Amino acid sequence: MKKLVSIITPCYNSSKYIEETIKSVQSQSYENWEMLITDDGSTDNSIELIERLQMEDKRIQLFKSQNSGAAVARNNSIKMANGHYLAFLDSDDLWTSEKLEAQIHFMESNHYALSFAGYQKIDEKSQLIKDSKIRVKEKISYKDMLTSNKMGCLTVIYNCNSLGKVYMPLIRKRQDYALWLKLLKITPYAYGLPKKLGYYRIRKSSISSSKIEMLKWNWKLFKEIEGLSFTKSLYSVCSNVLYKIFK
């Protein structure tokens, strides 16, 4: 029997996109999954939409927190997960139908504990953004990741059975980046599958769209969470900026 995959999804006022996101999971050729959605105090009809889909598909589970942030929401879903593998998908992003099948096969046939894959960016209307396909390196280490976040959250899967449950630091932003760094202290490499397996949505209202905001949270990540020196933190922040400019 195929191993269970737990899909970790935070949700906050995502009624515009959450149904499309869930349906991209339901379309998977790999069917042994559970989708653990933690809603963080939505004030729109996100919960009603999720509950309706949950009634039709018992693999979808809904939990509720109250304005505690994405890190707490994700960690709650990780805590409740039963899977051999943990995968990550935000409430406005999408997967291709072969995502889990291709990536689990990639990991099991090569005995990889941590993997990621390529993806493409889409806009708020789910239209492809031209020249936005994100390609991946064959493998990356902790040191490689200090210069930029090379792992798209919607593509990451790790083997919970071998690495254990690893939780995100409780920071408002960049908690996914921080988790990949934590995992790369446990296992030496993350391995890239050179296939487009997902679609990352660019939203004008997203906090992540603010470059100045990202500088602040990158600094917090390197200096406070990773405990790097002032010089090394500054180097990593500048490297991230240069990577964004020249990639």
Beta 94-95 vs 190-201: how paired, if at all? antiparallel
Residues 149 and 226 in one domain: no
Residues 162 and 240 in one domain: no
Residues 91 and 131 in one domain: yes
Residues 197 and 215 in one domain: no
DSSP string, the chain: -PPPEEEEEEESS-TTTHHHHHHHHHT-S---EEEEEEEE--SSSHHHHHHHHHHH-TTEEEEEE-S--HHHHHHHHHHH---SEEEE--TT-EE-TTHHHHHHHHHHHHT-SEEEEEEEEE-TTSPEEEEEEEP--SEE-HHHHTS---S-GGG-EEEHHHH---PPPS-SSSHHHHHHHHHTTTSS-EEEEEEEEEEEEP-TT-GGG-HHHHHHHHHHIIIIIS---HHHHHHHHHHHHHHHHH-
Residue 242 belongs to domain spanning: 210-247
According to the model, what pLDDT value does residue 207 have?
Answer: 45
Residues 233 and 198 in one domain: no
How many domains, the chain? 2
Residues 14 and 108 in one domain: yes
- Cα separation, 221 vs 175, whole angstroms: 8
Residues 69 and 131 in one domain: yes
According to the model, what pLDDT value does residue 181 have?
Answer: 98
Residues 168 and 222 in one domain: no
According to the model, what pLDDT value does residue 246 have?
Answer: 63
Residues 40 and 122 in one domain: yes
Residues 73 and 168 in one domain: yes
According to the model, what pLDDT value does residue 125 have?
Answer: 92
Residues 218 and 157 in one domain: no
In contact, 36 and 83? CB cutoff 8 Å:
no
Residue at token pair 């963080």: 40
Going residue by residue through the chain, which has 247 residues, state the pLDDT in tens, using 9 for 90 and above. Answer: 899 999 999 999 999 999 999 999 999 999 999 999 999 999 999 999 999 999 999 999 999 988 888 999 999 999 999 999 999 999 999 999 999 999 999 999 999 999 999 999 999 999 999 888 888 999 999 999 999 999 999 999 999 999 999 999 988 889 999 999 999 999 999 999 999 999 999 987 654 456 677 888 898 999 999 999 999 989 898 888 887 776 6
CATH number at residue 179: 3.90.550.10
